[in-house]
Amino acid sequence: MISFFFLIIYLGPMVLMMIVLCVQIKCFHEIITIGYSVYHSYHLPWFRTLSWYFLLCVNYFFYGETVTDYFFTLVQREEPLRILSKYHRFISFALYLTGFCMFVLSLVKKHYRLQFYMFGWTHVTLLIVVTQSHLIIHNLFEGMIWFIVPISCVICNDIMAYMFGFFFGRTPLIKVGSWLSETVFSSQLSYVMAGYRYFVCPVEFNNDSNSFQVDCEPPELFQLQDYALPSVLESLTGWPTVRLYPFQIHSIALSAFASIMGPFGGFFASGFKRAFKIKDFANTIPGHGGIMDRFDCQYLMATFVNVYIASFIRGPNPSKVIQQLLALRPDQQLHIFNSLKAHLTEKGLLPALEEAAA
């Protein structure tokens, strides 16, 4: 499995995206199947078909939003994609509305309550599985390091908690030891990966090569910087400064969440299984249960990473702004140019720029 993991990383982010989609579909299938068996709903008219139809609708919406957001240049270049992008949300709503109407038309008097149970079951499953897997893909497109490090943190936390529990028994040392081990591991993994553009650069579409690429000038987050040590640590180590990637500091927050809050995803999944008196979500992996049994903590971790990036990392993206400006009509572009010129002149920046150019 480790060799397979390294192979898919080597194949690149687009292959990883397809694997995330496959995992999402399988997790959805496992949870929906539990609903069918628990509520004995195999005889409900059209409901299995509608469940998969809603999955298709939600994926169409999320993937369409992602493509428009991250690959705006490609969308504007291709006429069919441009039209689909322009009316994407209307099309998505129309698709969902069709499914909603099909559900209403399929209602049978003697199955009303059961049908609404399963309608709610399907939508909660979409919220838990599809929405969070979509966030995983967003993290991936920001740079593979945002995908690999969080996943590795969760895996390392599970392994180290088992190791400390095996050697020291059920003591608070399990949590402390696993967190410290995980912090050291994530910091070292981040140090190695931050030195490679393949891992830190976002996925972009290159018009010249007509392909997706992972290449950029690494931002400050992935450039080595000197940090002054507190006097206590300086006296202990003899080092006045340490040279780190800023991302290594952020990896401490990721490892802390994986150690403290990540297990709650597993607790939630365990409570769900106990509520319906089942041991595993499925038997897809012999001895390990279903795919959902392996990814219960990963979904919660992915949501945190996406919120963390949006809150503390991502800033205004000049390249996306320029792409959107180029898609405007000439008169709109001219209006924005004049407004920007007046703003820079008012701030006293434009004369300085003109003198520098002269």
pLDDT at 328 over 60: yes
284, 292 Cβ separation under 8 angstroms: no
As beta bridge partners, residue 244 has: 225
pLDDT at 93 over 90: yes
* Stretch 245-257: mean pLDDT: 95
pLDDT value for 159: 87
* Stretch 163-168: mean pLDDT: 78
pLDDT at 3 over 70: yes
* Stretch 302-327: mean pLDDT: 85
Tens digit of each residue's pLDDT (9 = 90 or more) over 221-246: 999 999 998 888 888 888 889 999 99
Which pLDDT band, with edges at 50, 70 and 90, does 40 fall under?
low
Structure-model confidence comparison of residues 45 and 282, the more confident one: 282
Going from the C-alpha of 210 to that of each of 1, 70, 182, 198, 206, the distances in angstroms are 33, 15, 40, 18, 6
Tens digit of each residue's pLDDT (9 = 90 or more) over 169-209: 776 667 777 888 889 999 999 999 999 999 999 988 877 77
Structure-model confidence comparison of residues 155 and 321, the more confident one: 155
pLDDT value for 146: 96
Average model confidence (pLDDT) across the chain: 87
pLDDT at 353 over 70: no
pLDDT at 355 over 70: no
Tens digit of each residue's pLDDT (9 = 90 or more) over 289-303: 898 988 889 999 999
Tokens at residue 93, please?
A: 């709503």
* Strand-strand pairing, 211-213 and 225-228: unpaired
